[in-house]
Amino acid sequence: MKKLILAIFLTHFLVACASNKPKEETAAPVTTPESSVSSAQTDAQAAAAAAQAATDAQAAAAAQAAADELAALKSKSSVYFPFDIDAVQAGDREIILMHARYLAAHPAVHVQVEGNADERGSSEYNLALGQRRAENTKRALVLGGADAMQIDSVSYGEEKPRCADHNEACWAQNRRADINYDAQ
């Protein structure tokens, strides 16, 4: 008897496990007229084109702003020094900070700092003085936020005078370090 009850129980159990589950009803796909699909595509394309135009306009405005900023910096690209001094003067620190901020914001930009001296002194002394002026200007740019890898320094000594007269007003123009964006 136990065997019969066990056989019936197992048969019911196997039948219950083997039965198929009821299928879920699926909704038929909704069809839309072609005109509404093409209208939606056209609207999406127009929105994408408008977004691209806005992006292009923003990029052009940003490029123009960067070009204007660079032009303003180039107009103030010289740092001046007193006679026989290589330390950057307090009056020129704002100019250096403007250049340093620009370089920090544009890491792909490279500059060359060109140290100069007036005609007084030997050529060797003036080359060394110009190099110290260029290095100190570079150091100030780095302290202002620029990356040292963006900046090269060179000395021209008395080789590139801005003024050729032999008086203090001219010599003052020649004692400088130029931050040159076009030297590369």
Complete domains list, the chain, with CATH = 84-184 (3.30.1330.60)
pLDDT for 1: 67
pTM metric for this prediction: 0.66
Helices (H) and strands (E) in the chain, counts: 5, 4
Q: Copy the structure tokens of residue 129.
A: 């003085």
pLDDT in tens, the chain (184 residues): 667 676 676 666 666 665 555 555 555 555 555 555 566 677 878 778 777 887 888 878 777 877 777 778 888 999 999 999 999 999 999 999 999 999 999 999 999 999 999 999 999 999 999 999 999 999 999 999 999 999 999 999 999 999 999 999 999 999 999 999 987 6
Q: What is the pLDDT of residue 38?
A: 65
SS3 78: strand
Spatial CA neighbour of 179 closest among 104, 67, 90, 80: 80
Helix residue ranges, H only, 76-156: 93-105, 123-143
pLDDT for the residue numbered 12? 63
Both ends of the chain: CA-CA distance in Å?
Answer: 103
How far is Cα 104 from Cα 146, in angstroms, rounded to an integer?
A: 5
**Quick one: which of 129, 141, 144 has its CA closest to 180?**
141
Instruction: Say if CB 132 and CB 115 are below 8 A apart.
Output: yes
State how far the alpha carbon of 53 is from the alpha carbons of 46, 57, 59, 66, in Å: 10, 6, 10, 20
User: Structure tokens of 55?
Assistant: 């992006």
Integer CA distances (angstroms), 170 to 6, 64, 131, in order: 118, 36, 20
User: Which residues lie closer than 8 Å to 127 by C-beta, 6 or more apart?
Assistant: 117, 155, 156, 157
Q: Map tokens 């923003």 to a residue.
A: 58
Asked if 163 and 96 count as a contact pair (C-beta separation under 8 A), the reply is no
